[in-house]
Amino acid sequence: MLVLPKFVRIAGLAASVFLASWSAHAEPFPTRPVTIFVPYAAGGAVDVLARTIGQSLSKIWGQQPVVENRPGAGGIIASQALAQSAPDGYKLILVASGHPLNQFFYPKLPYDTFKDFAAITEVASSPLAIVVSQKSDVRNLQELLAAAKQKPDSLSYGMSGNGTSAHLAGELLNYMADVKILAIPYKGGAPALTAVLAGDIPMSINPLPEVVGQLNGGFVRAIAVTTATRSKAMPDVPTVAESGVPGYETSVWWGFLGPAGMAPELVAKINADLLTTLKDPTVLAAFDKLGAVPVGSSPQDFDAYMRAEAAKWGPILKQANIRVE
C-alpha cells in the first residue's frame, strides 16, 4: 500500500483553505475540456501518466481532459505552445525532468524557463531502466561497459530527446564509468524502444513506465536501474551502482505547469484537484504497476524544486559542453 508523504497532506490542507475563500465568488472550473500537452510521443512515460491522471481528473471535473501529444526538440515545442496560451487553466502541460534543463542545451529558447510558466505540482517520480533487446547477447551492465571500453565509440543508446532524464542518465553513466556511449535522440521513449527492438541501436534508457509493457511481453530485458536502491516494480534488476559504478544515482520526475499569469486561486484549485487524483486507488494502482511513485507538492515547492534542479545540473552540463543547435 502506498502512503503519501506528509508534505502531500500539508499541501492538500493549504489548498483546501485557499479554495474555501475562493469558491464562494469564483466561476466554476472547468466548464469545457482542459487540454494537457504532452511533450513526447504517444506511448512514452509522460503520455501514460497524463492519460492515467486525466481519467481521474474527469471524475472530479465532469469533463474529460484532452491529451495532446506535441513531440519534438526535447519538449520545447509543447512548452512554447503552453507559454503562448491564455492563462485560464484550459491549457496545461505535464513536463519531465528535462524541462528546467533545456536552457543549458539549446542556445535560444522561445520562452523563459521560469517566468513564462506557473508551477502547479510535481506528481510522480521513477527510476530509469537501461534496456537491451531480448535477443541481445549482453546479459548485464558489466558486459556492456566492458564492450564500451574495449571498443570506444562503438556503442550507442536511445533516449527521448536532448536534456531529458534519459539523456542525463546516459551522460552520467559515461562520466562515472569512464566510457563513451553515443546518445541518439528520439521524439520519445517509445520510438527509442522501437529502435532497440528493430536492432537499430543496442540499448536505450527509459523511465520505468515506458518499458513495463515491453518487459512484461518479453521483448526487452532490463540490465540495470538508475536509482540508489532497486525498484519494487523490478526487484530482480540490479542498480547501476551494484553493477560496478559505485555512487551512481539519478531518476526522473514529472509535474504539471500552466502558463504564466494564472490567478493564484485557479492554480490552487488545479493543484488541489491533482493532489486528489494522487489519492485515487486506480491512479495509485497504475503508478505502482508502472514503477512510478506519487509525490504531490505545493506550487511554491515545485517551483523551488525545479530551480534547484537547474542550479544542480547547470554547471555539470556547461562543463560537458553539450549543445543542440
Q: Please report the pLDDT score of residue 323 as a whole number.
A: 65
| Cell numbers at 112, concatenated | 523563459
Low-confidence ranges of the chain (pLDDT < 70): 1-26, 322-325
Position 161 scores a pLDDT of 82
pLDDT value of residue 164:
85
Q: Which residues pair with 92 in a beta bridge?
A: 36
Spatial CA neighbour of 186 closest among 169, 204, 171? 204
Residue 5's pLDDT is 53
Say what the pLDDT of residue 12 is: 56
Domains of the chain with CATH codes: 6-126+252-320 (3.40.190.150), 128-225 (3.40.190.10)
Instruction: Note the pLDDT of residue 313.
Output: 86
Contact at 8 Å (CB) between 70 and 77? yes
Determine the pLDDT at residue 232.
Answer: 87
> pLDDT value at position 318?
80
Hey, is 122 helix, strand or coil?
strand
- Please state, in angstroms and as integers, the Cα–Cα distance from residue 318 to each residue in 105, 234, 313, following that order: 9, 34, 9
- b/e per residue 56-91 (b: at least 16 CB within 10 A): bbeeebeeebebebbbebbbbebbbbbbebeebbbb
Per-residue pLDDT of 64-75, as tens digits, reads: 999 999 998 889
Tell me the whole-structure pTM to 2 decimals. Answer: 0.81
Note the pLDDT of residue 210: 87
The predicted pLDDT at position 3 comes to 46
Tell me which residue of 181, 127, 133, 132 sits closest to 154, measured CA to CA: 181
